[in-house]
Structure 1
Amino acid sequence: MISLTIHGNPVPAGRPRFTRNGHAYDPPKSRAYKQLVAIEAKKQYRGPLLKDKPIEVYIAAYRENQKQISKIERTRRERKQSLPLRKPDTDNYVKSVLDALTGVIWADDNIICHIDAYKFYSDTPRIEVIVREIEIDKN
């Protein structure tokens, strides 16, 4: 099992931009966040690249609480009783993290067979990632 925590406000993957020649590229904010995630992951994981075995990935994106919320709402958010229902979408956080960890944790994200992803509020914004090999019953 590989466990990573990347501190800071999560940034969702932005829509790709295109040059006049039709080449796609990441928006600067998305690209910078992916680089940050990759650097932090390299500090926390020094093992070999995963390949040729199915894996599952758990991602929890903890967004920063807004400044002007009541104590009651803050408590509800700490207990995960109140979840973010607004943009950005959970899948955009997933895309950002998976892209950043390709070449750092796994050789290619095609070996990911299962993903669990959540978004929460927190006073300590971060992304938590857990990667596990899927045990295949060979009977």
Structure 2
Amino acid sequence: MSSILFEIPGEPVAQGRPRAGKTWTGQTVLYDPAKSRDFKQYVKLVAGQHAPKELITGPIDLSIDIYRATPKKYQTKPKQALIEKGELRPTTKPDVDNYVKGVKDGLNKVIWQDDSQVVTLNVRKFYSMHPRVVVRVAF
């Protein structure tokens, strides 16, 4: 089984709710919030550096580790020790599935054909002084 492992540096961005707007003809259109759209483009840029020669077409096992910035209230020595042991982890919003949506959308047509190919998904959230997203694609 082959795998691709890479890191997306920077603060992870959860997929935002679609926004509605009107065209000049009065039609309603839905669009991604700018922050979500920009994060997906960033994911595409980083993933492009690790893309296989041909898009993956078979089943995929996907692992995503999300490292959020440590809040100020947890930047004490005792709290940092708990974070390093993995005993203090984020239990607040946004949900892991909102983070995953942005990453999976960003990997479409870069690493794989379509995110429906993901048959196994493992997601974990952590605190870190160096926010990032670590992605492992096994195929």
- Which sections of structure 2, spanning at least 5 residues, go unmatched? none
1:56 aligns with 2:55: no
**Equivalent in the alignment of 2:7:** 5
Q: How many residues align?
A: 132
Secondary structure of the structure 1 residue equivalent to 2:49: helix
Moved over 4 A (4+): none
- Per-residue CA distance 1:78-115 (angstroms, 9 max, x = gap): 22111101011111000010001001100111111110
For the pair 1:120 / 2:122, whether they are aligned, the reply is no
Identity of aligned residues (%): 40
Question: Which has the larger displacement, 102-111 or 19-28?
Answer: 19-28
| In structure 2, distance between residues paired with 1:25 and 1:129 | 26
Cα offset, 1:17, TM superposition:
0.9
Matches of residues 1-139 of structure 1 in structure 2 within 5 Å?
Answer: 1-20=3-22, 21-51=27-57, 53-69=58-74, 70-133=76-139
Compute the RMSD of aligned alpha carbons.
Answer: 1.1
Shift of 1:45: 2.6
CA contact (8 A) 2:4 2:50 kept: no
State the distance in 1 between where 2:30 and 2:134 align: 28
Per-residue CA deviation, residues 44-96 of structure 1 (Å, 9 max, x unaligned), is 33432111x11110001100111232211111112211110101111100001
> 1:136 aligns to what?
none
Unpaired runs of at least 5, structure 1: 134-139
